[in-house]
Amino acid sequence: KRYFLDFTFDIKINIMSKLLLLCLASVLFAQLSAVNAINYRPIYKEQDE
């Protein structure tokens, strides 16, 4: 029984760590897209003018 409990605990840690990685990846992606938007915005403004 103790082994089974440890096994489920490991699975929970695995899932939590994967969720954490997903959150970090999405935050990094959002920051990158925001930087790209800031970089490209002046170009679009110049083209519009």
Q: What pLDDT band is residue 48 in, cutting at 50, 70 and 90?
A: low
Q: Provide the sign of the torsion angle of the four alpha carbons 14, 16, 17, 22, taken in this order.
A: positive
One-letter amino acid identity for 32? Answer: L
* pLDDT tens readout for residues 8-47: 888 888 999 999 999 999 999 988 888 877 776 665 566 6
Chain length of the chain: 49
Residue 22: per-residue pLDDT: 96
Calpha distance 10→32 (Å, rounded):
33
Residue 47: per-residue pLDDT: 60
Residue 24: per-residue pLDDT: 95
Residue 41: per-residue pLDDT: 63
Residue 16: per-residue pLDDT: 93
Cβ neighbours of residue 24 under 8 Å, at least 6 residues apart? none
| SS3 (DSSP) at 1 | coil
